[in-house]
Structure 1
Amino acid sequence: MKTKQNYSVEFRAEAVKLVLEQELSQGEAASRLGIPKGTLANWLVASRSRGEKPAPGARTVAELEAENARLRKELADTRMERDIIKKGSRVLCSGVTARYAWIEEHRSAFPVAVACRILEVSRAGFYDWRGRPASKRAQENERLKVAIRAAHTRTRETYGARRLQPELAKDGFIAGRDRIARLRRELGLRCRQKRQFKATTRSAHTLPVAENVLDQVFEPTRPNEVWTGDITYIPTDEGWLYLAGLKNVFTCEIVGYAMAERMTSELVSLALFRAVQYKRPSPGLIQHTDRGSQYCAKAYRGLQEQFGMVTSMSRKGNCFDNAPIESFWGTLKNELVHLRRYATRAEAESSIREYIEIFYNRQRRHSRLGYLSPAEFARRYRDSAEAA
């Protein structure tokens, strides 16, 4: 019997926003998130039912999606034409040879066919000017470059050649890792750079601590066997925003999180409660954290006992004992937080929620999972277990 999937309220809201605000079709959004199209359609209907009724004569959802798709294509074409005209305006009044030279110089940035059309020269003439027709390999490289640039943007400039390879294969572009790396260099594409990590744990307290049951053995054999938890901080113009999170070590998924302007035991308790609410783990789950006072608090330990969890805590001053969640903090800050300046805590919360629910849990490929997303890895494990 198939296991019914339980989606969080936050994920449903972000999925609806993906369709309504980013103007993706239901099919595109459902495919990107790895959920059934019918499920997403139901969420959209529920969302619209809570709003105003459409005016008489309003277009249907299908008509709006078709119109959005057409407008997106027109916008993309217009932007490309604008960029070509802006950068190539100096050769528009020059001879054909100068235009050919400009196209050759900017082949990595613009498709030859589009540049030839905008600069009003023939594509065949351009290749004749180059002395020979483009080889099959050269044409494939040009198409691959377009795909690489699109994938680089889609993956938020975070993928190197190793993770780009399965991403491109999913789009039908089969290429070796060295070839992808070479074309990325030609395009001038680079991953976002990592910054130095700064620890924030405060363990100078007299509360009781638990033994290190996990002891850096991060080798669970099934989902919801080991969760690691921690707190980090996000700078905003209003002050710090504190983020508490719990990570499923087996699937790499962030199973629960909460944000607030103060770093309290209520914050970490809310993250734990949300994780349990949506994942329903069996008793015996190992819940590993550092020795922070929030995790040693009586209220939090009481929740762990209520849910039948085994409490495990890191040794003092050893961040490697909690490496999985520390790794997530580094990824979050490198790929999102360090590249933004948040005016308000609410702005930061919205940005982080979208990153976790839409990108990290459901799209971002993890080398540890065979370059699958956490959601796809969990789905394959679940299907395999049900078929056994």
Structure 2
Amino acid sequence: MSKKLFTEKEIQILSKNTYVKSVSSKGITYTDEFKELFIAQNEQGKTPREIFDECGFDEEVIGIGRIRSSGKRWREAYRKNGLLGLRDTRPVNTGRPSERELSLEEKYARLEAETNLLKAENELLKKIRFAERGMKKIKLSADQKFNLIHSVIEKYNLKGMVSYLCKVAGVSRQGYYNYFSAKQVERRKDREKQDESLRDLILKAYNFKNRKKGARQIKMVLAGQFGVVFNLKRIRRIMKKYGIESPFRRANPYKRIMKATQEHKVVPNVLSREFKQGIPFKVLLTDITYLYFGKGKRAYLSTIIDASTNEVLAHQVSDRVTLDIATDTLKKLKKNRRIKLAKGAYIHSDQGGHYTSPVYQKLVKKFRLGQSMSRRGNCWDNAPQESFFGHFKDLADIKPCETLEELKQEVKAAIHYYNHYRYQWNMNKMTPVQYRDHLLKVEA
């Protein structure tokens, strides 16, 4: 069938032709008279295009593909059954059975079958989400849907519901029967055996010399040590199928999106390592570090410190390193009424995705702060902040904490001690709060 669709105007033109029985946007039904005329003239040596043209059909409207396919179909039918093969035996020019009204029992049976299929689909999706956490959108493959339909039919004894359930699931009925044919079942068994043998080889390469490897290393070890060459895509497919995970870091998709959209912007290094300016609340430093607590648990700490006094002005602890941890710390700084930012105050950070985010930068401008960033890969441009994290991890007793709430309490207590009771040699042997008050008196 031609893929060309007729417009309303073309349908009107074609319907006026005496050789057309009916026409729709998708196809034409020709009269038996025209088919017989076509065969007679074609045997006399005329081409299909000439016959259609002489009978008033516009080649541009019908399309050369439809002309050729119609001629081929009619010639084959004539060779097999003569003139009877050209006759249209359909009652109302269609091969589809007429739609009949379903009984209440049939409607109820269909609804019940659809409900059971949706329940099974939801159960499968839950299992997939549990196995593959972090995936936002999961789409079932045709094979998974075929197995779902089969399991629902077997479980609830839904005979005669294959067509309806295939329609509900959005798969073809023919594909369903092909999937469960003896030939396809045997083929899948053979492939499963091949995959299992390949899995064993991959595991040998994966654990070779007791060093775990990624897909590329596995491919090279298989070729170099075992004399086996496999396609890299095939190796990755088997690793994914049997849960053989690469121990190496993967590219951060968030960073790729940052580069592609170019929304995240780096600002210049305004600070230029001039940390001690002798003015409280003028130069603020911020960063995020990780904290290990309990049995293998990890949390994140975001802080804002005063570069002149080393006082921690705001902090936030979270079990996730999302943008919120940086923005919430900034909001806490703004809510603290005792902090009155100096004229021309700005906040300095590294070039992390949190600080280059347009959301974060917009918030900085809203709070009337300037922004400065360290040069790429240069930790010395934010040295006091990095130094604070080192001292803080020695000071805080975070390892015994079992819950996130316990960790937050310990961090809060440690920061309070650091601000009020930890004397610092380079600040006239004062605590950060004492040194801040000292600088404010000098200014006054």
What TM-score does the superposition give when structure 1 sets the normalisation length? 0.45
Largest Rg, 1 or 2: 2
